[in-house]
Structure 1
Amino acid sequence: MFAKLSKEKFLNLVENIKEYVDLFTLEEGLEQFKKCRLKAVQINGDSVQAQVRDYQYYTATIDVNDFLESYCTCGAKDFCSHLAAVFFYLYSSHRWPDTFLAEAKEHRKQQAAKKTVELLDKTTVKKPLPKDSVEAWHHYFELVYGQMINLHEHSRYKFLDGLQYYLVFSGIYEKFQEKMFSHSSGWPVTLREIFRLHSVLFLMDRLEKINRTHQWFSLTASQPAYCERCEQELLNHIPKITIEQKEVLRPFLQKILETVQEHYFQPSQTLFDWRFIHGVLWGTILYHPALVERETAFLKRKLLTPSPDRYKAGLGLVFFKVLENEDAAARSILQELDNLRVRDLFEYLSSFRRVGDWQRLLEWLRWLLPRAEHTDRHEFEILCEYWNDAAGESGVQEEALRVLKTWLPRSRRFYADLLLQLKLYRDWVELNILYASDSADISPADSRLLENKDPAALLPLYHQWAARLIESKNRKSYQEAVKLLKKLRSLYKKLKLGREWDEFINYLAAPGRILRLGRAANKGTSLPVWRNGFKILSLCLAPAFLLRFLYRNHTA
């Protein structure tokens, strides 16, 4: 097949595809080639044609003389993956296709780096100084960012999907930040960090605006991790500055405020957690009396206006009230909001727990009690965790027990944990008996704890488990029942109840009773058994190894 094309034309085709076809198209084409989706390959002069199966069969034709004239019936305007599959079919006669893909990736990487340097060097961009205005800083950001974006737009690289856009933008992000960090490396520390904070915020703003239009980035599974990384980068460059320094730097802070405010009130879903960013920045670098006064006035106007912004404005005001230790005023604002989401308050509850402010945490937990029934599973479990923590640290064990008990059965796991924490072992056993807990529901550590602290309390629970295992009527459950009966035997001995154990086993293992048990096994009937106050419920279809255990453990 390769012999029908001149070597010179083939090598020109290889170089053109290496230079201009985007890597994602090549990867898809290679995958189609490897899956043998080509048929009816024909070489007619300087064109190569083949049928490529995708959602249907498409006819892909490569023009070897001018690969830009290649076309496919799939309708793609650019060199598509079906054409790439045909190319790899040709290339496989020359070398292994994976080799070409590796070379193309390395070539593209080198070219991108070279062109970036050339573009930036050729363009006369006035680099900002520490003493320059915030407008000068952002003008510089715009120019450098524009050059990097143009570099990709002038290549034949197209933003076809979220993954492609993620890789392109992440590459721009790295180069952009590298340039900004390098430029500001010799600046005074405070201005250097504010400059870098602005540069990160600038890129986050750009990514949000582009994604708002095209929804490219949100399509990729890498988006959450990448966005968290950007947010962390932002936090890493928040300097600690005094009120006096903030006064001097107010224009720089005002620009940060405007950017965050714009995205905080976005009605559509955002890539970044702007409410979190809003809180962190206002709690640190933005906290200046004049800025706070202006922001709260703005939020109050929003709160009075019936609009989708009202809820976010209310949460914004709550943030400032909590920051100023005015929790009662914060709760009054929340009382006026419709459809309050409990999860929107977790940042405050978490903060109180982290610093050990248990009284404030308790006041909020009590206020949230009527709203607990409207929470989803995640929210409810977090509330239960907070109550458990508060009980252990602030001496309100009885109150926490009452709260978790009223929330049963949803709170069962947390109520059980608190019972163990308070050493109410008998109550813990009663809870598990009441809700017919399975042995798999209880951690071995909890079982061992009770076996050491109050083994007698476990007897009725273990009898319930054994009975349920036997009633399951399958070999595996019978094997588990024997293991449990052995554990029961050790507990009886530990409690020095050997006589009671012998009586119990003698009762089960009496010859007549065993005979009836065997008959019941054959008939599939049930034999209720009561002994020593414990209901064994029934022994059905017991296999030989269970009967042998009963024989070996009786003394009669």
Structure 2
Amino acid sequence: MRGIPEHLEEPLQLASQELKGMLHADAEDDVKLVHKGLMLYRQGLVGSLSVQGETISAVVQDVTPANVLLNLDFFSMSECSCPADGFCRHQMAVFLQLLSRAHSVSEWVEEWRRPLKEMQDAKGWGLQKARDLLKTAGMMKPSYDKWIETFEISFEELFYSKGIIKPYIIPEIYSIYIRRLRAGAPAEREWRLLYELIGSIYTFRKLADLSQRLEYEEAVIHRYYGHVFQSIMDDVFERMRTLSAQSFPFAFDEFIERMKVDSIEILKGDVPLEYERIHLYRILWTTFFTKKNWRQDERERLQESNDSHSFSLSAAAIHIDFLLRQDEDALRALSEKDPSLTTYMLYWIETLNSQKDWKRAGLYLEVFISKLHDYLQQQPDYYTCRDFTRLAIKVISPFCTETGSMDLFERALEETLPYSYNEYEYLLFENQEYEKWGDLQAYIGFDMGILQNDRIKTLEKADPIILLPLYHHGIQSDIDMKNRDHYKAAVRKMKKLRTLYKKLKRMDDWSLYLDEILLKTKRLRAFQEECKRGKLIDA
């Protein structure tokens, strides 16, 4: 019978798209899986198909019959009785059987294969012109304008002449483009390095602008061709390092002057790729444009910029101030501007750490730590905050260790709570600051049930009073869960708490506490029963 229930139409479409992303037409195992699933479906071996909500059940008559439960909402939760791990040919066959009731299976397969076909087609774009360029390589007289014009023509032809291009094709087109670019490089080594450096910087900017024009989201860029930007930056750094190891010929002066002026163009673009734009600009001015007067001129250029509210230009201006050791101006801007600049401070602090310039590092760390809380408040999820906190602690540690400024280190841990809990808890316990340690547990809402026995024993000897509120909190948390297993856990904690009160010779306090708990839970019959079984109260 053709057609599917109306409520399944949207889940089926979403599942169809998810499956296209999960299975790759250029991966041999995935190709085999789709082919085998297609064969099972076309041979009519999928039967007993039924629908329950968004779950599809069916039997696939393979060599051994396979029972399949297909979850359209979460493919990872689909099941099959066969021994294969993960998504298997039987689940594929059931999906295709369901799809066939509402859509064309052949069209789905063709769409799934299309990215591979487009990537293969892309490999042939412009190859003839690349050969032509190889014939004329090195014949062009060094000229900044001519080089840029050549890059421009090649980029426009490859990236714009085919209409809207898919993100997964961009790496293929880039590989053709970069071969063409290098084919036209001058023969002399120094000029070739300069040519390729200028070409890489130009390409980065054009590819970032293209991404913005196509309105690709950050996640899409990083998934499909983020590695291209990283490769370009690696190339830029390597060529700068090689060129900077020697004195520049006088003939380079005009080229370097144009590069300096054009470097600001890297920053002219919104998100996505804001971080990458700023990072490339910073490594250029840190590694290649090293003369003081160059940096002073750049500072004036940035101050005269019409777009004074641009986040990227603000970060660039602070970087130039940092390089010129204009720390007062840089730190004032960091204090006053968007907390988002906090992540860029990691680079400057790491630079000062590597130079062992502890005096300057201390100034930047003070501002950095004061911004941590607000910066973390802006982040989208726990894992982003935790990853950034780890980086921050790693960057702060060298200064605090070398200068003995552990008070600054502790302040950083406080500002990054709860993401710094593990590091802060360890620090306080190792320093025997047990009262602070107890306050931290109360703040976090720590469960006594997972506290290591050696820590409990240490606290019982050193400062047992610290454990009392932790036990109280743990017991109440277990009771609030209102099930038999947690009631048993609460009783176990209460027995340990009673022992602790006895050791402190505060049994009157224990009696008051027990009476209060029993009064509050008088309607919780199961909990009262567990208290009797644990001999906390008379049967």
Q: TM-score range by the shorter chain?
A: 0.5 to 0.7
Matched residue, 2:155 = 145
Matched residue, 1:198 = 198
Matched residue, 2:455 = 450
**Matched residues in 2 for 1:251 and 1:452: separation?**
73
**Matched residues in 2 for 1:392 and 1:197: separation?**
39
Matched residue, 1:331 = 331
Paired residues of 2:133 and 2:184 also in contact (CA < 8 A): no
Matched residue, 1:226 = 225
Between the aligned residues of both structures, percent identity stands at 14
1:463 is the counterpart of 2:471: yes
1:57-456 pair list within 5 angstroms: 111-114=121-124, 116-121=126-131, 126-128=136-138, 132-149=142-159, 153=162, 158-159=163-164, 164-181=165-182, 188=189, 190-212=190-212, 214-218=213-217, 221-223=220-222, 226-227=225-226, 229-238=228-237, 239=239, 240=241, 241-242=244-245, 244-245=247-248, 248-266=251-269, 268-272=270-274, 273-302=276-305, 307-308=308-309, 315-332=315-332, 341-343=340-342, 344-353=344-353, 357-367=357-367, 375-377=375-377, 382=389, 385=393, 390-398=399-407, 401=410, 413=421, 416-433=425-442, 435=443, 437-439=445-447, 444=451, 447-448=452-453, 450-451=455-456, 453-456=458-461
Would the alpha carbon gap of residues 412 and 316 (structure 1) be closer, same or farther in structure 2, given more than 3 Å must change? closer
**Matched residues in 1 for 2:151 and 2:528: separation?**
79
**Matched residues in 2 for 1:141 and 1:278: separation?**
20
1:456-495 pair list within 5 angstroms: 456=461, 457=463, 459-469=467-477, 471-472=479-480, 473-484=482-493
Would the alpha carbon gap of residues 119 and 363 (structure 1) be closer, same or farther in structure 2, given more than 3 Å must change? closer
Deviation at 1:543, TM superposition (A): 5.0
TM-score by length of 2: 0.60
- Could you tell me which runs of 5 or more consecutive residues in structure 1 were left unpaired when the two chains were aligned: 1-22, 24-33, 35-87, 526-539
**Matched residues in 1 for 2:113 and 2:501: separation?**
79
Aligned AA for 1:477?
H
Deviation at 1:277, TM superposition (A): 1.3
Deviation at 1:172, TM superposition (A): 1.4
Paired residues of 1:141 and 1:199 also in contact (CA < 8 A): yes
Would the alpha carbon gap of residues 359 and 462 (structure 1) be closer, same or farther in structure 2, given more than 3 Å must change? same
Would the alpha carbon gap of residues 443 and 299 (structure 1) be closer, same or farther in structure 2, given more than 3 Å must change? farther
Aligned AA for 2:438?
V
**Matched residues in 2 for 1:141 and 1:474: separation?**
70
Paired residues of 2:267 and 2:277 also in contact (CA < 8 A): yes
SS in 2 for 1:245: coil
Paired residues of 2:158 and 2:173 also in contact (CA < 8 A): yes
Paired residues of 2:478 and 2:490 also in contact (CA < 8 A): yes
Paired residues of 1:466 and 1:481 also in contact (CA < 8 A): yes
**Matched residues in 2 for 1:236 and 1:402: separation?**
39
SS in 1 for 2:220: coil
Would the alpha carbon gap of residues 223 and 482 (structure 1) be closer, same or farther in structure 2, given more than 3 Å must change? same
**Matched residues in 1 for 2:458 and 2:518: separation?**
41
**Matched residues in 2 for 1:208 and 1:397: separation?**
42
Matched residue, 2:63 = none
**Matched residues in 1 for 2:340 and 2:126: separation?**
47
Deviation at 1:166, TM superposition (A): 1.7
- State the aligned residue count: 419
**Matched residues in 2 for 1:110 and 1:300: separation?**
48
Deviation at 1:468, TM superposition (A): 1.4
Would the alpha carbon gap of residues 397 and 449 (structure 1) be closer, same or farther in structure 2, given more than 3 Å must change? farther
**Matched residues in 1 for 2:182 and 2:490: separation?**
67
Paired residues of 2:200 and 2:232 also in contact (CA < 8 A): yes
Paired residues of 1:462 and 1:488 also in contact (CA < 8 A): no
Deviation at 1:117, TM superposition (A): 2.5
TM-score by length of 1: 0.58
**Matched residues in 1 for 2:227 and 2:170: separation?**
15
Matched residue, 2:50 = none
Paired residues of 1:128 and 1:137 also in contact (CA < 8 A): no
Would the alpha carbon gap of residues 231 and 103 (structure 1) be closer, same or farther in structure 2, given more than 3 Å must change? closer
Deviation at 1:274, TM superposition (A): 1.9
Deviation at 1:280, TM superposition (A): 0.8
SS in 1 for 2:289: coil
Would the alpha carbon gap of residues 264 and 243 (structure 1) be closer, same or farther in structure 2, given more than 3 Å must change? farther
**Matched residues in 1 for 2:135 and 2:332: separation?**
53
